[in-house]
A and B are shown apart, each in its own frame.
Chain A
């Protein structure tokens, strides 16, 4: 019967009698007007976007327990109803086919489904036995900026006090660690001083290594709303953001410190500095002025490749601005000199008094949705609430709040992310727990990472998706809930705490990270002590409010409900340091003398080209999410390599050729070549999102000595045409045709 029915249905479809009218029908959404009936919701749930750190307010439409649509929240102060393509299609991540749905344990080399009890019992047993054999510190934990703050706070206590290892860090070290370190160097504490609103009121906006049009597109409207601004973009590539700028400064890679010092030089020389501010609120000016006196425009022009006139004009534009804003992202952070570059940027703001005022701020534009929350509540590079490991008073205060022995709180930071990886290679780290991150694609120099992942005796990967390139290495996979399936808060780049709500239930047997952590604590017999009476993530928030009370990142002033109702609340108000008092012991900010050193791996005869990596607007990080949203993945299904026409001519390569990028470490074959004036001669660029074309096969495993952030942005490579196999031959012919047509 059903077979006959099926046949009739198929016949009707084939003959065109049935054209799926119902599926393609339009209907009236009570709130948003006519739209495809498939997107009409029963109810709308307010939440905050789970991709980047812009922190857009959105509403997710739910119908019959399924998320069917997403809308920008028009009343939200951050995005005023607008969303980027990833946000607009975010509901599709919840129904993605690749969601992890049940715990998987490796038995006889194969990952097989097991119960949660077996999974967590095994995890605790394995970790405990490894720790008792090799010491507590033999467990390394790598977290993320993807969890809600409440979960990250819970995890910090679990790892440091429950498992008793301080070798705990987040993927934020691949991302914002340099900004954190730079802020600490200059101001004595982490905390981005400004707000997005400053982008609207500044008369000069200087973006350094920040391609916001591609990576934070919703911030662009804030800039566009500023009718007075002069936008200056410092980037070696002609990015989409550079195209928005009044002035684009196409500097040589890693010459930004010279540029910044050169600007400082001109400002001091021409008296475009705020002497009062310097005298009242900074220290180290004399040495600083002396240091940058050598960065005269002629020298800076040589280092940066810019003209002297451009440097002078940029300096004067910045110096003459009533309010000047400096924003930066990964072009600055992803470097062995990232932390000090941030300090150099802060120098500029400090000597001109461009901080703590409307429109005036140095400002790191963060990466992940909750990188900020992890920085504040985390227990990784600092103690929760921006407390310092090395300060006994900070440790004692926490011990008092937590009602534990102060000796249990470590007095020094454990290993940072890259050092955990190296520790695993060296055999010091014997077990690893990776939560909501995908290092196989995101960590530099893949081969070392692979050694680390295969070296450890027990690897647990906790993720919303499986398989991911990383979960395939796991001994145990824990399926977790993702954005849209759990409740808590995210904090965005401008310190705005946003409420995140559960829209639907996690698929299959997946559980929230919070529940998983508490369950593990139970098995470690620390739940009652560390999480007394906790049931939901709100209990974590309530304790976090106490822990952060009186600190710079003070969450004690507002409840979850207030946060939701007000479209997010900024801790510290609209901007920090309005009084010019900085959290150093003398209340002054530090001016640092920052040398400009060439990047680590310079091009040579064998590897003559500099590889730069970055992103594209359609994808997020390592594509575990956006790779599963067909709409986005169809737009950009694979990686490419950008090369200047001059280099392509020299190498006798043509557009759409398949090329291989080779560095001292490894090679990436079969990249589609794009010949374009976007990149400078001598440089190539590729996006890092794609595990199929993993840029981190060739990137350099060099790390900032202060922040431990990897130097993703520059490494020396050579580019050659990929040698084709017979099977690829036919496909290549079609491309040759296209190319010939263009060439003729």
Chain B
């Protein structure tokens, strides 16, 4: 049975993985037989009963961190309850979580426990990814703080954290996480977990940031994702014996992740629309009515995507961190794309109006008149298309997070771009057909000035469909064969009866798409392709298995 620990032991420096800490060595533990022989008590270092929080102020270049002493933890879970009581959280949201790891064979079985809040990492991904700067790494204490007021509930931090620390609270619509009880620390009081532990297994320490960046091996532990990715600051004291063989006991407890249906629709539709715009530009068949249709779809998609947020009213805030957050960039580019579509639509309506109408209006705005020239519309169109594709690229980058290995593959951007091609080409065709119908129904109207009928080259659609399909199949195989547990677990989820049925249905629908395209039944083909993409996108979201700390064998709720 290959486990993450083994994989890491193979792929990384094993020394950093399993440390035999000297302080965990306990002179009495192995020396019972000495005791028996000598009939005397061993000498212990005098207990200094140290405080569990630092007794001095932080200096420049230092921060607070947790120290978890695995050799002291008896697995009572008092810390977990104390944390929930401290923060008044619902029963199924645990900012401090508890896990079990075990190894060896009876009777030489080793059992240890993990108790973790937030690791207050040096390179915290939650901070980097947040589109609204709800997270800050407190310059004074190094604590990673989250502001519920700033948060818009996009949950990107949930995806980014390799320890699955931030948790979305649906009751509030925002995320929350351990803040090391910084309010208590400020008052010179220990955090709730530290206070509750009957064995003093949790304490707050001071760490020199530069030193820790150089050597963070003491953050590594069985049952924990590799510390190097974000440089977790939590120091873990491991048991002297048997640490190497400790394995997670919760690996069989893999549940599908939330489907995020609003994102399923948003990504699919935005990719389709941005693709369609390109094909219309290529075919030089942009008409006001076509653009209106595309604008309608894009507006709906963006509207739906706001519903993904815990706080849709504050969706606009997502633009804030465009300098570093892929979410902000996606939102920015898609918004600009949408604005481009609005402009294009408006201008082409104006361009298609008979000169007599609104004549005076257009005259007063020479710029509008200038922009409405066909050549200039093309320029604006291409600008919008580039923004659209750019948005899709940013959108793909959102999912390229190491904490979610099944997403963090080249197949994600490939999928998004191939979807753009496949759905774009078909949608352009469908819009053209629809526009044709509308025109024939209301041809008296000037807006419906006929354009040359559009014809997507069949080979282009077929090629996109084939590549899209190939990408899915290769991804599925690579997941199965991966050395990473989380990817294999995703593959296994995809192999369950219900999810596999969905996967095969989408493949069948793509095959039908090819057939219908061949038969030039573009409307039907577009419909089947759209369903196929929506289904695989659904699978994309539900089948991802995030990195996480080891949890318990039996557990309820979402934690």
Size band of the interface chain A makes with B: 35 or more
Is A727 an interface residue, CB under 8 A from the partner?
A: no
Chain A residues closer than 8 Å to B74, beta-carbon distance: 213, 217, 220, 240-241, 243-244
Bound complex: CA of A26 vs CA of B192, how far in Å? 13
- Given A217-B74, A227-B44, A82–B196 Cβ distance below 8 Å? yes
The answer to whether B80 touches A635, judged by C-beta atoms less than 8 angstroms apart, is yes
Size band of the interface chain B makes with A: 35 or more
The answer to whether A39 touches B88, judged by C-beta atoms less than 8 angstroms apart, is yes
Which residue of B is nearest A217, CB measured? B76
Is B452 an interface residue, CB under 8 A from the partner?
A: no
Is B492 an interface residue, CB under 8 A from the partner?
A: yes
The answer to whether A36 touches B106, judged by C-beta atoms less than 8 angstroms apart, is no
Bound complex: CA of A636 vs CA of B75, how far in Å? 14
The answer to whether B32 touches A247, judged by C-beta atoms less than 8 angstroms apart, is yes
The answer to whether B106 touches A680, judged by C-beta atoms less than 8 angstroms apart, is yes
In the complex, how many angstroms separate the beta carbon of A640 from the nearest chain B beta carbon?
5
Which residue of B is nearest A322, CB measured? B41
Q: How many A-B residue pairs have CB under 8 A?
A: 248
Contact with B along A227-242 (1 / 0, CB 8 A): 1111000000010110
The answer to whether B35 touches A17, judged by C-beta atoms less than 8 angstroms apart, is no
The answer to whether B492 touches A740, judged by C-beta atoms less than 8 angstroms apart, is yes
The answer to whether B198 touches A220, judged by C-beta atoms less than 8 angstroms apart, is yes
- Given A230-B28, A738-B254, A739-B252, A733–B498 Cβ distance below 8 Å? yes
Identify which of residues 223-271 in chain A touch chain B, using a CB-to-CB cut-off of 8 Å: 224, 227-230, 238, 240-241, 243-244, 246-248, 250
- Given A34-B189, A679-B106, A313–B32 Cβ distance below 8 Å? yes
Chain B residues closer than 8 Å to A221, beta-carbon distance: 198-199
Chain A residues closer than 8 Å to B552, beta-carbon distance: 635-636
In the complex, how many angstroms separate the beta carbon of A352 from the nearest chain B beta carbon?
13
Which residue of B is nearest A638, CB measured? B554
The answer to whether B492 touches A320, judged by C-beta atoms less than 8 angstroms apart, is no
Which residue of A is nearest B494, CB measured? A737
Chain A residues closer than 8 Å to B30, beta-carbon distance: 246
Chain B residues closer than 8 Å to A425, beta-carbon distance: none
The answer to whether B554 touches A640, judged by C-beta atoms less than 8 angstroms apart, is yes
The answer to whether A20 touches B76, judged by C-beta atoms less than 8 angstroms apart, is no
Chain A residues closer than 8 Å to B321, beta-carbon distance: none
Contact with A along B255-292 (1 / 0, CB 8 A): 11000000000000000000000000000000000000
Bound complex: CA of A737 vs CA of B252, how far in Å? 8
Bound complex: CA of A247 vs CA of B33, how far in Å? 10
Contact among A84, A218, A736, A738 with B251 in the assembled complex (CB-CB below 8 Å):
A738
The answer to whether A631 touches B91, judged by C-beta atoms less than 8 angstroms apart, is yes
In the complex, how many angstroms separate the beta carbon of B300 from the nearest chain A beta carbon?
18
Identify which of residues 95-124 in chain B touch chain A, using a CB-to-CB cut-off of 8 Å: 102-107, 109-112
The answer to whether A737 touches B495, judged by C-beta atoms less than 8 angstroms apart, is yes
Chain A residues closer than 8 Å to B174, beta-carbon distance: 16, 19
The answer to whether B42 touches A677, judged by C-beta atoms less than 8 angstroms apart, is no
The answer to whether B313 touches A320, judged by C-beta atoms less than 8 angstroms apart, is no
- Given A19-B148, A24-B88, A678–B254 Cβ distance below 8 Å? no
Is B331 an interface residue, CB under 8 A from the partner?
A: no
Is B493 an interface residue, CB under 8 A from the partner?
A: yes
Is A316 an interface residue, CB under 8 A from the partner?
A: yes
Which residue of B is nearest A318, CB measured? B36
The answer to whether B556 touches A633, judged by C-beta atoms less than 8 angstroms apart, is yes
Is A293 an interface residue, CB under 8 A from the partner?
A: no
Bound complex: CA of A324 vs CA of B29, how far in Å? 17
Is B309 an interface residue, CB under 8 A from the partner?
A: yes
Contact among B47, B149, B189, B491 with A741 in the assembled complex (CB-CB below 8 Å):
B491
The answer to whether B187 touches A85, judged by C-beta atoms less than 8 angstroms apart, is no
Contact with A along B225-260 (1 / 0, CB 8 A): 000000000000000000000000101111110000
Contact with B along A32-68 (1 / 0, CB 8 A): 0111111100000000000000000000000000000
Is A474 an interface residue, CB under 8 A from the partner?
A: no
Bound complex: CA of A39 vs CA of B81, how far in Å? 13
Bound complex: CA of A656 vs CA of B251, how far in Å? 10
Which residue of A is nearest B256, CB measured? A734
Chain A residues closer than 8 Å to B32, beta-carbon distance: 230, 246-247, 313, 317
Identify which of residues 720-744 in chain A touch chain B, using a CB-to-CB cut-off of 8 Å: 730, 733-744
The secondary structure that dominates the B interface is loop
Is B451 an interface residue, CB under 8 A from the partner?
A: no
Bound complex: CA of A23 vs CA of B184, how far in Å? 19
Bound complex: CA of A69 vs CA of B192, how far in Å? 13
Contact with B along A77-119 (1 / 0, CB 8 A): 0010011110011000000000000000000000000000000
The answer to whether B78 touches A217, judged by C-beta atoms less than 8 angstroms apart, is yes
Bound complex: CA of A221 vs CA of B488, how far in Å? 42
Bound complex: CA of A24 vs CA of B179, how far in Å? 14
Bound complex: CA of A538 vs CA of B450, how far in Å? 98
Contact among A19, A83, A229 with B311 in the assembled complex (CB-CB below 8 Å):
A19
Is B59 an interface residue, CB under 8 A from the partner?
A: no
The answer to whether A82 touches B491, judged by C-beta atoms less than 8 angstroms apart, is no
Bound complex: CA of A679 vs CA of B105, how far in Å? 9
Chain A residues closer than 8 Å to B311, beta-carbon distance: 15-17, 19
Bound complex: CA of A737 vs CA of B542, how far in Å? 13
Bound complex: CA of A218 vs CA of B78, how far in Å? 10
Which residue of A is nearest B558, CB measured? A634
Is B365 an interface residue, CB under 8 A from the partner?
A: no
Bound complex: CA of A33 vs CA of B555, how far in Å? 31
In the complex, how many angstroms separate the beta carbon of B7 from the nearest chain A beta carbon?
12
Is B519 an interface residue, CB under 8 A from the partner?
A: no
Contact with A along B189-216 (1 / 0, CB 8 A): 1001000111100000000000000000
Which residue of A is nearest B495, CB measured? A737
Please indicate which of the listed interface residues A85, A228, A320 has the most CB atoms of chain B within 10 Å of its own CB.
A85
Identify which of residues 108-142 in chain B touch chain A, using a CB-to-CB cut-off of 8 Å: 109-112
Bound complex: CA of A632 vs CA of B77, how far in Å? 10
Is B10 an interface residue, CB under 8 A from the partner?
A: no
Bound complex: CA of A70 vs CA of B81, how far in Å? 11
In the complex, how many angstroms separate the beta carbon of B183 from the nearest chain A beta carbon?
4
The answer to whether A631 touches B498, judged by C-beta atoms less than 8 angstroms apart, is no
Chain A residues closer than 8 Å to B172, beta-carbon distance: 19-20, 24
**Interface of B with A (CB < 8 Å)?**
1-2, 28-30, 32-33, 35-36, 39, 41-42, 44, 47, 72, 74-78, 80-82, 84-88, 90-92, 102-107, 109-112, 148-149, 152-153, 171-174, 181, 183-184, 187, 189, 192, 196-199, 249, 251-256, 309-314, 480, 485, 488-489, 491-493, 495-499, 545, 552-557
What 3 pairs between A and B have smallest CB-CB spacing? A16-B311, A36-B88, A630-B91
Please give 20 more A-B residue pairs, beta carbons under 8 A apart, in addition to A19-B173, A82-B198, A741-B485.
A19-B172, A79-B198, A88-B196, A203-B41, A220-B74, A238-B111, A246-B28, A313-B32, A317-B32, A632-B81, A633-B91, A640-B553, A644-B106, A676-B553, A677-B103, A677-B106, A734-B493, A737-B495, A738-B493, A739-B492
